[in-house]
A and B are shown apart, each in its own frame.
Chain A
Amino acid sequence: MSGGSGGCRAFAWRHRHLVYTLVVLAAFLALLDGIVGVLEDRGLLKTYRGIDDMVHFLDEPAFIRVGDSYETSKYGRFSMVPSRFPATTGDAWLAFLLGESFMMGSPYVLQKYDEERAGGIGSWLRADLDALAPGRRIDVINAAAGGQNSDRVRMIAEEVVRYEPDVLVLATCNNEGALPASEVVRDLRRHGAFRLLARLLRPPADGAERSLYTAQDPDTAAVRENFRKNVRAILAAAAARDIPVLVCTLPVNLADESWYVGHPVDFRETMPQEGLADQPKCIVQAVEAIRAERLDDAEKALDGCESVEALRWLGLVQRNRGNYDRARELLEQYTELMPRNRCRPSFNSLLREEAARAPNATLVDLDERARVNAPDGIPGREIFVDYCHLNWSGYAMMADEILRVLQRKGLEPRSVRPPDPRPDREGLRRRFGLPDAKHPETFTDEATESRAPGSSGSCLDAPTPRE
Chain B
Amino acid sequence: MIPAQFDYVAPTSVADALAALAEAGDDAKVLAGGQSLLPILRMRLNAPEKIIDLGRIEELRGIREDGDSIVIGAMTTYADVLASDLVRENAGVLHDAVTEVADPQIRHRGTIGGALVHADPAGDVGAPILALDAVLTVTGPSSERTVPAAEFFKDLFETAVGDGELLTSIRIPKHAGWGSRYEKFVRVAHQWSIVAVAATVRVEGDTIAEAAIALTNMGSTPLRATAVEESLVGKPATDDAVREACAAAADGTNPPSDLNGDSDYRKHLATVLTRRAVLAAAGK
Q: Are A and B physically bound partners?
A: no
